[in-house]
Every structure is written in C-alpha cells, then in structure tokens.
Structure 1
Amino acid sequence: MTSRRTAVGDDAAIERGDGVPPRPLEEYPLPPGPDGYPLVGNTLSVVRDPFAFYDELATHGDVVRYRVAGRTFTALLHPDYVERVLVSEPGRFERYVFADLGFDIGTEGLLMTDGTQWKRQRRLLQPAFTIDRIETYAETMVECAERTADSWIDGSEVALNSEFSELTLRILAKALFDVEVDPATDGEVIARAARAINERVNARNLSTFLPQWVPLPANRRYERTMRAYREQVDALIDRRRSADSSGEADDLLSIMLRASDDRGGTLSETEVRDNLVTFLFAGHETSSLALTYALMLLARHDDVAATLRAELEEVIGDERPTAAHVPELEYADAVLTEAMRLYPPAYILFRKATDDAVIGGYRIPAGTILTLPQFHLHVDDRFYDDPEEFRPERWLDDDRDRPEYAYFPFGGGPRHCIGMRFATLEMTLIVAVLLCRFDFELSSEPDPEPSAAATLQPENDVRVRVRRR
C-alpha cells in the first residue's frame, strides 16, 4: 500500500530539475545527530557553548538533527542546502524568529511578517532602498563619522563597540527621521532596548528557551524595556511629523508614510511604527558590530591597514570621502567582507519547513526548524584556505570554485537584508574617514570572545588606543 505522504522527490533530482517519481517520505531516514538527554534533548550543550556545539554537529554530516527545549531543529552545514532553502524554494521554508517564545521587536514589520503582508511591505519599502536613494545619505554618514573622529583625543583609549553603536545610531536616526538623537535620552533608551533584545535571545541563558509569559524577572525587564523603546520610537515619529509641515521630506519615515503602489497598497500606522522599531535596532546594531570587528582586525594586522591606507590615498587623496569614491575602494570592500566572514553580526538564520521535504537524502518533516549558521559555514575549510586567518586578499581573487552561499552575512533570496546597500556604503565611508586620521593599537588582550545573542556581540568591550596621523 502506498503511503499518503508521497509528495516528496529526491532532493538531488529537485536541484537538477529531473522529473523523478516521488518516493514515500518514510523511505528516507531522519538526519543523524548527537545524543541528548530525556526531555531537554541537547539544550544543555547549547547553553554551555553554542559555538562548540556546532563543531560537534558537523561531525555528523551536513544535515544534522537535534532537539532544544522541546523543539526539533536540523542544521544545514553545506552552502548548496542553504541556497536551496533561501533562494530556490523559499516558499517551502518560512522565516522563523521565535515568535512563539514571545520574541518581538515589531510584529507587523518586515522581520516578523510572512506571506502577502510581507510581500506588500517589501514592495512598498524597496524604492526607499535603491542605490540612488541610499547615496543621498552619504554626506550624513561622512559628517557623523567626522564628528566622532573630532571627539577622539590623541592617545586616548576608546571602546569601539560603544563608539560605533552611538555613531551608527546617529546616522540611522538622521536617515530614518531626519532628527538628531540625544545620546543621554533617545540613545540610552535605544541602547537599553538593544541590550534587552540581546539578553532575551542569548543562547547561553536558559530563560531564552522559555515563553515570554513565564513570570521571570528577565521577562518582566524585557517587557518594560521594549515598551519604553516603542514609546521612544513613537515620540521620534511625532517629532518628525511636527517638523514636516509640507509633507515633502525625504527621510525614510516620510517615504514610508507616503508609500503606495499601483495595487492600492499602503502601510498602516502600526506597520510604519514596527518597521522603524526593527530598522532602528537591526540597522545600527549590525553595522556597529561589523565596524567594531573590522577595526579590531585592522589594529591586529598592520600590513592590511597599510595596504588599505595606500588605497585610500590613491582613490581619495586629500578629498573628502563621497559615495562616488566607494566603487573604487576594492580593498576596503575586501577588508569589510573578510571581517564579516570571520565575525558575521547576524550570525545564524532560522527557517521553518512548511511542507515535508528531503534534504541531503534525509527526511525533514513539516514543522522542523532549520538552522543556517553563517558563523560556521564562513570558516569551513572545505571552502576557504586558512579559514581562521584574516586575509582580505582572498576576496580579490576570482575563486569560482567556492559555492556562493559559503558566505551570506546579509542572508539571501527574497528575504535578503533590505538595508544591505545602506550598511555597505555606511561602513565603507566610516572606515575611510577613520583610517585616514588614525592609527589603532588594540588594548584588548586577547581579542574579546563573541557572544551568541541576537547579534554576535563581543563579551567585553573592544578597546583600542587611537593615534592621530
């Protein structure tokens, strides 16, 4: 008798496009994986050291099943499988952001929505993120970077993660709302929210795996902090509306409020607010971390810093950095690319199988949560020579043998990061401003360990001594 569950073709055939007959799902084995404990599965291993846990997973193959806090996960540890999930069949693997645990930084925004609502929002927001539109923010990016540089005293020690968090927040607030944020008020509320979000989903906290309704002190603190954060975003929205009497401003908020398409689609007030809540956190947090790790690595590698400065001198010289310079800064792009390979700020993606599937010859039942770990694939020695080494030159070579999704710091497919171009322009211009003015001497010994929170946070401040050139 043929099983009802037969709508599953061989995954290799799917990738080739062959019309092979489907086989019963039960004929495919479940993926292998590490042994766990009754009830808690592999939760304790994840809490002890999530990075080492993925090294253990890799010993079982490229499709590995495990259980954490009552949920079934399958890690995909090969770029071809990542590409299939993100690009080839995104409709079968929906975004998963732990909403069932109460994780919420904007339930009606791009991050948390799916289906037709997400498609409508993406369509309406995309015009605000074209390269021409983004380049209009270049002057603001450079001005803010210069203000930061002017505030640094020759020979002083600064915490890069704190400095870049404040800098990217100023840039983003100007781009989103056309307002200056006060670090002592606006900035502190937003910084507290960023810390709360990272604490809420830190893989080393057992409370991360408990629902938000459980009356833990951490959960109550998270709710209070996020309430204050939303109120602060509402205040910024009100401040912008009061200042824009003409309704013709070109900051992102104004564009969102005016957005419409030929299908009659618009953004609701809640969708506008929740997207701003998301952008304000994700947009400044990820860029500040990428800059932190890039400058940390440059401080460690004088030869790389010298090569980068030579390029900046050749391309920019005594001029002020502009968007027009950026396409010529190939080595600067390679430095940032390599930094995000070693320290991807958004270091892991999650998807949920909406249908039964077969990946790598293994059965993936509907409802399985898939993990796509950039931090692991980015240093896989099958795809990178000397994977732990900081070598920007590797990105200047035409390595056609490396699978495309051996590197995906901005995700991929329809749900790739909408702010990728903004972040790339911002980071390149900031590095150009700072490297032309300063030498950096790393004070943190050894390099701070990364923490598996919502983003790849350093466990401790990344401190450098700045020397004016």
Structure 2
Amino acid sequence: MKNLPKVPQWRVILNAQRILKNPISFHQEIFEELGDNFMVKTPAGKPVVFTRTPQIIRHVLQKNHANYKKSTLQTEDLANYIGNGLLTAEGEHWLVHRRMIQPGFHKKKLVGLLGIMHEAIQNELRQITPESNFDVYSLMGDLAFQVVAKSLFSRSDIRESMAKLQKITEDNQQMVIKEMRQPYLQWWFALSGMKNRHLKFAADGRQILNTIIEERITSAHKKNDLLDMLLEATYEDGSHMSRQQLIDEVLILFTAGHETTANTLSFTLYLLAKNPGAQEKIYQEIKELDFHQENLYEIIGKLPFTKACLEESMRLFPPVYIIDRVAKDDDEVANQEIKKDTLMLLSIFELHRNKDFWEQPDDFHPERFLKMDKKEYSEYYYPFGAGPRMCVGNNFAMFEMLLVLAEIFKKYTVSTEMDNMELNPLISLKPKKVAINFKERRR
C-alpha cells in the first residue's frame, strides 16, 4: 500500500516486551496516532499492513477472499500443534473438508445435541459456590471444554482424559504465541528443546483422541453426536477421512470450540456484574421458561435480550480480535494498492470500537442490537469472522452460551469488585482473571 504511515522498526523493538504481553494497547496507540491504516516493515523487508477500515476488511474476508490466504503463522506454526484441520488448512484441502463438516453444524442438526449440551452445563455449574469471589474464567473454561467433549463423544467417563487434553491445549497455545511474537528466538526454542517438548505434548493429545475414536469404531455403536458426524462424512468418491485427518478436525473443534466460548462467557459475566439492570432484564426474560422441556431450540429463540448481551460482549471483546491474511496477487481496494505477499492484519477489536460506526463504543449497551437491523452493522461487526471462513461452530457456540446465561441468572445475581479487566490476547482474546461473586436469587 502506497503512502501509508509507517511505524519504524526501532519503535517495534523498543516495545517488544509490551507487544509480547499485550499487543492490543500498542495497536490502539498507533491507530490513534496514525489513522485507520499503517504499515510495519519486518526485518526481512516484507510489508505488514494493519487496518481497521471496514471496506478493506470486508474486501479481504468476503468480496475478494479468493485472493487472500492465511499466513504461515497459522498454516504452519499453529498447525504443528493442532494439525491440518479447518482452522489451519488452506486451498482445496480446506474447501473439501469445510463442505464435509459444515452440514453437521447446521442449526437443525444441532437441535439433537441441545439436551446433551444442557446436561453438561448444569453439571459444571454445580461448582459455583455462592457468596464467595472466584475466578469464573477457570469455571467457564472447564464448562466449555466439557460441553465440547460431551457433544463430540456423548460420554460421561472421560473427564480425566479431557483434563489432560485441556492442559496440553492450553500449554501449547502459550508456545505458539511465543513463536508468533518472538520469531527471532526460533533458534533458542529449538536449541533449548522447548519446541520438541511441546510437540511431544501435542502427540500425547492426539493419542488420547485416537484411543477414544478407536473405541467408538470398535463398538460400532451409533450415538448421533459430533464424532458420528465426522466418522460418517464422506468425500465425493464415497471414502471417509483418514484417522489423522479425523484427529485434526476433532482437535480444531476442541481448541476453537471451547476457548472462544469460555472467553466470551467470562467477559459477558463481568459486563453483567457491572450492570445489575441488564441482569434483571435477563431474569425477566427467562423466569417463566421451562428449560427442561424437550424443545430447547424453540425456547432459546425466546431470549432476544440475553442474545443481545452476548452480541454486545463480543463487540467489546471479539473472540478473534485480529485476523491475518496474505495477498496472493496484487490487489486494490478503497483507493489503496495491496502488493502481492503483503501481510494484512485486520483489527476486529479496533473496528468494533470505532466511534464512526458505534455510539458510545466503549460502553456496554446490549439494547443497540435490539434497535438495529443486522444489515445496519454487518459491515463492521465480525465476532465469528466473515466470508467462507466464518467460524463453522458459531451456532453451536451461541446455543451453548445462551443456555449457560439462562442457567446462571435464573438462580443467581452476580457482582464484582474489579474496576476493569486485564486482557490476555493469545490466539483468541482472553481475560487474565474475572473475579465474580454469585448470590442466590430470592424467589
């Protein structure tokens, strides 16, 4: 891109530790100083463009998505640890598997999983201790992981295995972030044995999943869960996924499926703890509904304000706070030329808080999503991404989160003494800690 303001390399180097800890504040500082688009040159001389311009973001993700691919940070670095599944795959390989898997996440298909999902949520929420402050991020992480596990495997006897897999997933994500933000230390990661140690963790995680899959195949017992959907999915020639590919896809569902949900629920509980009026509106919406009925899908459709709270939470704290794409060929958009091989970093966090598109952008106002038609904000609201690579599990996540909030607020009110949260941007946007007090609701 020509004539873009440039951030000198010395400034990036001086802020290296700050960027490693939390790049969002550094990005905000530069956006406010230089405008909606700016460039950083890497030591290798390749251009990196940061943007919060909605026309450019929409062009890259939707209008001309075929000209853009994911960076090697995802297709190679992240893939080293979680395999070549939907999140990390590119090209024809991605397209084929997306077409295979997407039907399993259609709303109507997910209806059959709602009972399993609801039971898992109720079991995990029994960990809540009223009248005591505790970090809900840990609780929401365990809950979301168990919901994915039960929805995938329909088993109640794998908690220990899933706890090991969860620990491996979280540890390896920390390693990936180090590699992404400190590429100049790759030699040390290899020499010290750190990288090999984490690759061994990844292999251990794959073996856990392989054992569970083997048991299912050997039993020949149909459970109509997500694992059955993956086992039954076929290519055009009628063949099934290889065992390696199957494990790759299951790992992606665990990694992306539990983490973004846990993050959003934690942020939402914090925002609601700061807004007792919004809690009361949720309670009024759910208090007469029977969530033990079989028709959970219909009941979930009766929660517009609860859904708006989640949407507003994902606006303020988007699960995928930044999206990377690399230009395959020269391109042009919004009077800007994009040269081949340019790395585009699309700041969803900045777009979601841009005062040109949102009134009081830093404030929690869920009502805005009830007042506006979706078409009014669709070009500057991307909580699950956009275009062909939009998150395949967005409906699954929304169903789960709505059920969690309904279960919590029909029993409790929440409060917090925290004035603000410290963010922990890794592959997705996490909170460092969310200390919440639960008080039993008076009937």
- Report the TM-score when normalising by structure 1: 0.85
Equivalent-residue separation in structure 2 for 1:411 and 1:374 (angstroms): 9
1:388 is aligned, of 354, 359, 362, to: 362
Secondary structure class of the residue paired with 1:37: helix
Query: RMSD between aligned alpha carbons?
Result: 2.7
Structure 1: gaps spanning 5 or more residues: 1-27
1:58-77 matched pairs, under 5 angstroms: 58=31, 59-68=33-42, 70=44, 71-77=46-52
- Tell me what 1:29 maps to: 2
1:347 is aligned, of 296, 316, 321, to: 321
Aligned residues: 437
Contact 1:347–1:373, Cα closer than 8 Å, also in 2: yes
For 1:234, give the aligned amino acid: N
For 1:158, give the aligned amino acid: F
Contact 1:233–1:273, Cα closer than 8 Å, also in 2: yes
**1:262-294 Cα distance to aligned partner (Å, 9 max, x none):** 554642222111011111111011111111111
Equivalent-residue separation in structure 1 for 2:61 and 2:7 (angstroms): 26
**Greater mean alpha carbon deviation, residues 375-384 or residues 252-261:** 252-261
More helix by share: 2
Q: Are residue 187 (structure 1) and residue 159 (structure 2) matched?
A: no
Equivalent-residue separation in structure 2 for 1:282 and 1:264 (angstroms): 28
> How big is the shift at 1:146?
1.5
Equivalent-residue separation in structure 1 for 2:91 and 2:107 (angstroms): 26
Contact 2:423–2:429, Cα closer than 8 Å, also in 1: yes
Equivalent-residue separation in structure 1 for 2:110 and 2:291 (angstroms): 24
> How big is the shift at 1:254?
1.8
Equivalent-residue separation in structure 1 for 2:106 and 2:362 (angstroms): 34
1:19-418 matched pairs, under 5 angstroms: 29-37=2-10, 46-47=19-20, 49-58=22-31, 59-68=33-42, 70=44, 71-96=46-71, 98-99=73-74, 102-104=77-79, 105-180=81-156, 182-201=158-177, 206=182, 210=186, 214-216=190-192, 218-242=194-218, 244-246=219-221, 248-262=222-236, 264=238, 266-314=240-288, 316=289, 322-398=296-372, 402-418=376-392
> How big is the shift at 1:157?
3.2
**1:58-114 Cα distance to aligned partner (Å, 9 max, x none):** 232333211346453111211111111111111101122505763224332111211
**1:123-145 Cα distance to aligned partner (Å, 9 max, x none):** 11112111111111111121122
Secondary structure class of the residue paired with 1:370: strand
Residues 267/203 of structure 1: CA separation in 2 closer, same or farther (3 Å cut): closer
Equivalent-residue separation in structure 1 for 2:114 and 2:184 (angstroms): 38
- Tell me what 2:434 maps to: 462
For 2:372, give the aligned amino acid: D
Equivalent-residue separation in structure 1 for 2:106 and 2:331 (angstroms): 35
Between the aligned residues of both structures, percent identity stands at 23
For 1:85, give the aligned amino acid: V
> How big is the shift at 1:236?
2.2
> How big is the shift at 1:436?
0.4
> How big is the shift at 1:241?
2.6
- Report the TM-score when normalising by structure 2: 0.90
For 1:466, give the aligned amino acid: F
Equivalent-residue separation in structure 1 for 2:301 and 2:224 (angstroms): 25
**1:173-207 Cα distance to aligned partner (Å, 9 max, x none):** 11112223644443133233223213421599636
Equivalent-residue separation in structure 1 for 2:275 and 2:301 (angstroms): 24
